[in-house]
Amino acid sequence: RNVTHTGQKVVRCFPTNGAVKFPNEVSQLLSHPSLDVWAVRANGSVDVRIVDNDADIEQQLKDHFAHCDVIIPDVEEIVLAAEAKAKVTGTVQQEWHEEYHRYEDIFAWYEEKNQSYPNLVRMVMAGVSYEERPMPAVHITAGEAEE
């Protein structure tokens, strides 16, 4: 596995009286690279993964919401447990496609497949996204890849 989630946690933040204080600032805060928004609920609560264990970002979340609770204290622990379960049950491929993954994880997964099965998988860059990230095109075949 190329990606680690060591030191990462997920918090659920609740708005004050159903309304977020300073909505424009919150929108900007939630787009910070140290945060990964997992869910936005109808009641205004937001689940956010704090990517870099950034205490300053966590404090900013607490400043803009009524309160924030840690709902997953150690993301890496949960990922390791899921991987261990998948190895025992042999469901790695099925579970991969049923769960949410960040762009970096998806890109790494396809790169690993490309390297592991060069005669079946070929990646080419189709362009660049609005967010300046590479947009790969993946060609998967049942036999030798054609040029």
Residue 65: Cβ-neighbour burial (10 angstroms; 0-12, 13-18, 19+): buried
Longest dimension (CA), the chain: 60
pLDDT in tens, 60-112: 888 888 889 999 999 999 888 877 776 665 555 666 677 788 888 888 888 88
pLDDT in tens, 23-58: 677 778 888 888 888 888 877 788 999 987 788 888
* pTM (2 d.p.): 0.56
> What pLDDT does 5 receive?
86
CA Rg, the chain, in Å?
Answer: 19
Q: What confidence score (pLDDT) does residue 138 get?
A: 86
Which residues share a beta bridge with 36?
A: 49
pLDDT of residue 9: 92
Q: Is the pLDDT of residue 127 over 90?
A: no
- Block residue for tokens 């805060």: 29
Residue type present at position 38: W
CB 69 within 8 A of CB 44: no
How confident is the model at residue 145, as a pLDDT?
A: 43
Separation between Cα atoms, residue 42 and residue 45, nearest integer Å: 7
Measured CA angle at 140 (ends 138, 141), to 5 deg: 155
